[in-house]
Structures are given as structure tokens and as C-alpha cells.
Amino acid sequence: MADMEAIAREGTNAMPKDSISKTAQVNLNMLTFLGVPEAVAFSKALQLEGNPLVALQALPFAHQLPLCISCISEVLYESANQLILEANNPTILDVACGYSPRVLKMAPRGYTYIGADLPDVIGDLTARRRDILPADEEWIAGYRTVNAADEEQMRNVLGGLREPITVVTQALLPYLSLEEKTIMASSIRELLQRDGGCWIIPDADPDSLMRDTFRAVLGKVATSIVRSVKAIHSKAVGRNRSKMSWRNVNEIEEALANLGFSVRRVPLYREGMELNCLKFAGEEAADKLRTCWQQKNSLVVTAE
Ligand SMILES: C[S@@+](CC[C@H](N)C(=O)[O-])C[C@H]1O[C@@H](n2cnc3c(N)ncnc32)[C@H](O)[C@@H]1O
């Protein structure tokens, strides 16, 4: 159960409003940079402007940072996609969907896709809905404004839908306080107990994933660069990552077990995963990345 002292230490979600859409834009920009087809199409439809990585431009090795960050974006995105396809539940609820192009990957395959996020992000997505989701397609997809830390909103996020769901949270946990994570997890447990399905968390090792991915690409200099990137990120989102709860797979697993979930670990990278970033990284770095990612975890969480 939530540790009340830790909740008090972390405070509430202090993410400034304009930082929200910038963080939401990072993964889309990175997947587009790598040429992932649905990301290219999604970016074109959404027409977002600005470079969310502009704050990193003064750092050493700045020209290599998009590659490092895109490696993380793509391996998380593809790992989650693979697990969604394996779970094969008819509905996908992408909590904190940001500007993820996942809808363009899953809706054409017959899944019902619901993206949920805060008002700024959903405002952008609904304004461009017609461009993102072609009107003549029979895809079932939609966007809902939801604060993941609001029990009532989470309870109603699926409207009248009652079929097994795959809930995905990709790159959300670091933005939530312990109290918010606990509320969200309890709400997801309620949905899974009602409709069946699972919850996929591809980023169960956020800190070591960043450190080891940067190391594989940049070598020894990575340590100080990762420190600077984290400091810039913490400042931008108003949250000190080093004081966060659920920092690694053991902590997440323990917290979820205490909340009544069963948790299965799956290697973040598995043979046969096709990743564009590995081509950009070059052979030596690609080998290191595969090895590093095989030792990280995605989680498949159930609530029977
Ligand atoms: C780094 S982005 C990740 C976006 C997307 N999941 C992806 O992987 O591309 C973090 C997202 O979390 C969303 N977010 C942060 N706090 C949230 C909350 N309390 N409820 C819903 N979404 C939230 C932000 O708006 C943002 O879209």
C-alpha cells in the first residue's frame, strides 16, 4: 500500500502546463526521426511545431542525443506493440497516449483504440482527428480527456465498452507522484477485474534503461551526459526523478503485488524485433544495445 510519508515527500503532480505537450511530443518526434512509417504519417497529420529537444542543444555530444533518445523511444514503443499483439484483447486503452502513433498501427488491425491524456494533448488530437484517422476507414478509435490520477475519470474512460482490454502506460510513471500512481493502478485493477485483460508497462527500468542505452551509443562520456539530461528533464517537468518511487522493476513489481496484481516480466528486447534505430546506431553499438535491452524488462500485469 502507499507509504504516506513517501507521498508527502513527493507532493502532487507539479508538471507545468506547457511542459506536458513537449514531453508528449518527444516520442513522436523520435519515431519520426527514425522513419517509423506510422509516426511519419501521424506527424504529417498532426502538424506539431517546435523541437522538444531544444533544451539539450548546449550539451556535449548534442548531435548524438537524438539517436540515444530515439533508441529508447523505439524499443519501448515496439516492445509495447509486440505485447499488445500477443495479448490480443479487442480494446486498447493507451493511458497518457501523448501523440503516440500507436493508433495507426493498431486500429487498421481491427483493435478498438482509445487514447487518453490530459486536456492540452487531447485538444490537439481531437482538433486534427479527421487528418489522423481517415473518415473512410472503418477503424474504431477515439481520444478521451482523462487525468490518470482521477478515480472517477478512469472508471468512466471506456464509456459503455465491455470487452477485454489491454491497458498501456508508456513513459507515464515518472510523471506521477506515489499517490497518483497508486490511484491509477487501483483504477486499472478495477477495469481489469470488470472486463478482463492486462496492463502493459514497457518502461519498468526507466533509469537503468537510459543510462545503459546512452552508454552503448556514447561510451564512457555517457554518465555525465545522462546526469545533465536528467537535470534538464526534472527542471522542465517540475519533478526530481531521483526522489521518485517505483524507480526500478523490483520496486514496481513489489508495489503492484501489494496492490493485488500478478506481474510477469518479459525482456524488453526479444529476437526478431525490427528496430530502425539499430541501423542508425552502427553494428558495434547495435550489439551492445540488444544485449543491454535483453536484460531490461517490460511488465505484463493482470488482476485476476
Ligand atoms: C513522455 S509523454 C509519453 C506519451 C506517450 N505515452 C508516448 O510514449 O509517446 C508523457 C505523457 O503523460 C501525460 N500525462 C502526464 N500526467 C498525466 C496524468 N495525470 N493523466 C494523464 N496523462 C498524463 C502527458 O500529457 C504526456 O502526454
Q: How many angstroms does the Cα of residue 283 sit away from the middle of ligand 1? A: 33
Mutate to test the pocket of ligand 1, among 10, 84, 92, 117 (most ligand atoms within 8 A of CB): 117
Total tally of structural domains belonging to the chain: 1
d(CA 74, CA 180): 26
Which pLDDT band holds residue 156 (cuts at 50, 70, 90)?
Answer: very high
DSSP string, 89-119: -SEEEEET-TT-THHHHHGGGT-EEEEEE-H
Q: Give the three cell numbers for residue 65.
A: 542525443
Q: Tens digits of per-residue pLDDT, 120-130?
A: 999 999 999 99
Q: Which CATH number fits the domain that encloses residue 242?
A: 3.40.50.150
Average pLDDT over residues 205-230: 92
Which residue's CA is the closest to the ligand 1 atom numbered 8?
A: 170
CB of 103 sitting under 6 A from ligand 1: no
The answer to whether the predicted template modeling score (pTM) of the entire model surpasses 0.85 is yes
Higher pLDDT, 137 or 39: 39
Q: Tens digits of per-residue pLDDT, 25-75?
A: 999 999 999 999 999 999 999 998 877 777 788 787 788 899 999 999 999
Q: Look up the domain containing 157 and give its range.
A: 4-302
Q: How far is CA 209 from the centre of its chain?
A: 13
Give yes or no for residue 280 having a pLDDT over 50: yes
Check residue 174 and report its DSSP letter: G
**How confident is the model at residue 112, as a pLDDT?**
96
Which pLDDT band holds residue 230 (cuts at 50, 70, 90)?
Answer: confident
Check residue 269 and report its DSSP letter: S
**How confident is the model at residue 2, as a pLDDT?**
34
CB of 70 sitting under 6 A from ligand 1: no
Cβ(25)–Cβ(33) under 8 Å? Answer: no
Give yes or no for residue 282 having a pLDDT over 80: yes
Average pLDDT over residues 126-153: 91
Cβ-based neighbour number of residue 139 at 10 Å: 18
- The total number of residues shown for the chain amounts to 304
Average pLDDT over residues 273-287: 96
CB of 118 sitting under 6 A from ligand 1: yes
d(CA 132, CA 176): 28
